[in-house]
Amino acid sequence: MGNHLSKMKPLMLAGLALGATVLVAAGGDQSGDAVIPARQAAFRMSGTLFGGMKPAIDRGDDVKTLVPAAKALAGWAHTLPGLFTPGSDGAGTKALPNVWSDKAGFAKAASAYADAADKLVALAAAGDQPGVAAQWAVVRQNCKACHDVYHAPMPPH
């Protein structure tokens, strides 16, 4: 049945978990490679959160129900560069060395992503269904643009 609360629950939980991970990462030991697993967990949750918005958009749900998820995503987008601390470039990271050698370029990619996510929040809050659908695709383009340059290529499949 069309119960928005039950539909939103997984998304909201993912958002809460994402926020908690960022807090733990920010409060914990950020030296060297210790931050890598927290950073990766947060990226995975952000991916789940972002992907989870798509079925709701395609179903034509009231996009205002996506505001909490969009806000969690935007919050993550604004804070993610801070998790690429100096020396956290070893042991299992998929981040390429240019994240650190081209800090300005990486910050620019992250800031474009944050801007796009902020716009998604605004469109969702305005209840603009076609706007949210179009902006979701723009945000996905921001994921890809950064991964193309700063993320290790995916293994062939």
**Interface with ligand HEC (CB under 6 A):** 36, 39-40, 43-44, 46-47, 50, 93-95, 99, 106, 109-110, 113, 139, 142-143, 146-147, 150-151
Q: Which residue bears the tokens 């993320």?
A: 151
Closest separation in Å from C-beta 49 to ligand HEC: 8
Closest separation in Å from C-beta 8 to ligand HEC: 18
* 129 close to 64: Cβ distance less than 8 angstroms: no
Nearest of 65, 146, 67, 87 to residue 112 by alpha carbon: 146
* 69 close to 116: Cβ distance less than 8 angstroms: no
Rank residues 2 and 156 by Cβ distance to ligand HEC and give the closer one.
156
Closest separation in Å from C-beta 139 to ligand HEC: 6
Rank residues 2 and 138 by Cβ distance to ligand HEC and give the closer one.
138
CA atoms within 13 A on the CB side of 13: 6
Rank residues 2 and 153 by Cβ distance to ligand HEC and give the closer one.
153
The tokens for 46 are 């952000």
